[in-house]
Amino acid sequence: SQQGEEDPQALSIQEGENATMNCSYKTSINNLQWYRQNSGRGLVHLILIRSNEREKHSGRLRVTLDTSKKSSSLLITASRAADTASYFCATFFNTNAGKSTFGDGTTLTVKP
Amino acid sequence: DGGITQSPKYLFRKEGQNVTLSCEQNLNHDAMYWYRQDPGQGLRLIYYSQIVNDFQKGDIAEGYSVSREKKESFPLTVTSAQKNPTAFYLCASSISLAMNTEAFFGQGTRLTVV
Does the pLDDT of residue B70 top 90, yes or no? yes
Chain A residues in contact with B110 by the CB 8 A cut-off are 40
Hey, how many other C-beta atoms are within 10 angstroms of the C-beta on B63? 15
A43 touches chain B (CB under 8 A): yes
How far off is chain A from B12, nearest CA to CA, in Å?
16
Q: What is the pLDDT of residue A1?
A: 40
Give the start-end residues of each E strand in A5-97: 5-7, 10-14, 19-24, 29-37, 43-50, 55-58, 61-66, 71-76, 85-93
Please give the distance of CA B57 from its chain centroid, rounded to a whole number: 12
Average pLDDT, integer, range A6-15: 93
Average pLDDT, integer, range B92-110: 86
Residue B108, H or E segment: none
Chain A residues in contact with B90 by the CB 8 A cut-off are 42-43
**Nearest CA-CA partner of A72 in A25, A6, A23:** A23
How far off is chain A from B91, nearest CA to CA, in Å?
9
pLDDT band at A100 (very low <50, low <70, confident <90, very high): confident
Angle at B81 between CA B24 and CA A37, to 5 degrees: 45
* Closest-CA residue of chain B to A6: B42
Nearest to B90 among A42, A45, A94 (CB): A42
Does the pLDDT of residue B108 top 60, yes or no? yes
* Closest-CA residue of chain B to A101: B44
Separation between Cα atoms, residue A75 and residue A61, nearest integer Å:
6
Does the pLDDT of residue A95 top 60, yes or no? no
Is B103 in Cβ contact with A45 (below 8 Å)?
Answer: yes
pLDDT band at B96 (very low <50, low <70, confident <90, very high): confident
Chain A residues in contact with B24 by the CB 8 A cut-off are none
A25 touches chain B (CB under 8 A): no
Q: What is the pLDDT of residue B42?
A: 87
Beta carbons within 8 Å of A20's beta carbon, 6+ residues apart: A73, A74, A75, A76
Separation between Cα atoms, residue A107 and residue B37, nearest integer Å:
15
A43-74 pLDDT tens trace: 999 999 999 999 999 999 999 999 999 999 99
Beta carbons within 8 Å of A39's beta carbon, 6+ residues apart: A85, A86
Residue A49 pairs with which residues in a beta bridge?
A32
How far off is chain B from A14, nearest CA to CA, in Å?
23
* Closest-CA residue of chain A to B58: A99
Mutate which: B35, B43, B91, B95, vs A, most A CBs within 10 A: B43
C-alpha pair distances (Å), A1 with each of A25, A57, B44, B56, B71: 10, 29, 11, 21, 32
Is B42 in Cβ contact with A88 (below 8 Å)?
Answer: yes
